[in-house]
Amino acid sequence: MQREYRENSNPAAQNLYWMNGIESYLEHTEHPELEKFSKIKRAIMYGNPWAIQDLCVKEVYRGTTPDSMEFFNLIFNQWTGYKEITHKKVLNFVTNSIHDEYIQKINHWSQTWGNKANLNEHFSRGQMDSKLWMVDKLSELFPQKQIPTIAHYGGWYATVAHHLFQHFEITNYWNLETDYDCLRISEDFNREQVSSNWQFKSIGIDVNDIYWRKDKFFRCKAVNQQGKKIEVEIDPDLIINTSCEHMSENWFEQIPQGKTICLQTNNYFSNKQHINCCENLQVAVEKYPMEELYYSGELETGNYTRYMIIGRK
């Protein structure tokens, strides 16, 4: 008897781990097109015949477009052996099928930056769930929905800023990064806020080198569109660090008392880039002591456990 679908028959399709993260996002937001996305995932990644049938009907109703043949190649890849599957192609299909501003931004970003926009690492289910978890807890702790100034230490591509801007009134969101590729990539993702009087701005700086003034602010230099360095003064109402496992505790020790901090770390010791993991939540709480602890918790992601601490130092 023929199997009803050929699970894992095309390795190229199985490399689309970012689809799991997008699915988590749609579940979290209770998106009305979640089921449609799930069918796209089942068809492309697993060759589910009923999902394929449903998507084909929708393509017929959509009508012929310049992308129609590519879309059908993706839909039938598990059965035809189509190997020319790329993240860009699949994300373009998803964007043309699912109406969502966040997914559109991800697609534009991917088309612009190519392989530098690492979809699988950045939008894995663990990454997506961890960031949405943080936004949810901050929403509970800041019911007034106002966080005027955020300093995000090691913010990477800072795609989480999209969710924070949706939930809070933010005047300035400073993404502090040592990777200069990330500066440009993160600003492109948050380009609307960048163009709005630097509501979002990335700055190249090692957070371990920040010099805090007595009045509990620090200065650093941001580069404008003309390449000119402009000194800015940052007095954060919230400091975020979701990359603690990538750095020592120096950044934390230098922060003056009274500052509110939200941090995440994990027990993913097998990742060679992680130089400062924690065995469990208690170790994390002891490593990053707060004068007033607002929240501490953990989130299972499959490959590792994520720990989050929010408090006033």
Helix then strand count (H, E) for the chain reads 15, 9
Question: 168 with 236, same domain?
Answer: yes
Same domain, 144 and 273: yes
pLDDT of 237 over the 70 cut: yes
Please check whether residue 30 lies inside any domain of the structure: yes
**Mean per-residue pLDDT, 279-296:** 97
The model scores a pTM over 0.85? yes
105 shares a domain with 173? no
Whether 154 and 139 share a structural domain: yes
Residues 134 and 211 occupy one common structural domain: yes
pLDDT digits (tens, 9 = 90+) for 24-51: 999 999 999 999 999 999 999 999 999 9
CA distances to 72, 105, 171, 222, 238 from 192, in Å: 34, 11, 13, 17, 22
Do 201 and 269 fall within a single domain? yes
The answer to the question of residue 2 being in a domain is: no
- 241 shares a domain with 140: yes
pLDDT at 14: 77
Asked if residues 196 and 202 have their Cβ atoms less than 8 Å apart, the reply is no
Which of 29, 303, 10, 18 has its CA nearest to residue 162? 29
* Judgement on whether residues 81 and 115 belong to the same structural domain of the protein: yes
78, 102, 122: which is the final residue of a domain? 122
Contacts with 143 (C-beta within 8 Å, 6 or more apart), sequence order: none
Residue 105 domain flag: yes
The parent domain of residue 163 ranges over 125-312
Domain boundary among 97, 122, 147: 122
Q: Is the pLDDT of residue 52 over 80?
A: yes
- Tell me, yes or no, whether 248 and 265 share the same domain: yes
For residue 3, being part of any structural domain is answered with no
What pLDDT, on a 0 to 100 scale, did the predictor assign at position 9? Answer: 63
Question: Cβ contacts of residue 227 below 8 Å, gap of 6+?
Answer: none
pLDDT at 43: 96
Same domain, 114 and 139: no
The lowest-confidence range among 28-42, 106-120, 195-209 is: 106-120
Q: Are residues 142 and 238 in the same domain?
A: yes
3 pLDDT above the threshold of 50: no
Point out the domain boundary residue: 72, 104, 122.
Answer: 122
Which residues, at least 6 apart from 124, have a Cβ–Cβ distance to it below 8 Å? 17, 18, 20, 21
Q: Could you tell me if residue 5 is inside a domain?
A: no
CA dist., res. 185 & res. 253, Å (int): 29
Domain containing residue 213: CATH number: 3.40.50.150
User: Residue 169 carries which DSSP code?
Assistant: B
* Mean pLDDT within 234-254: 96
Domain count, the chain: 2
* Mean pLDDT estimate for the chain: 93
Instruction: Indicate if 186 and 161 belong to the same structural domain.
Output: yes
Kindly state whether residue 284 falls inside one of the protein's structural domains: yes
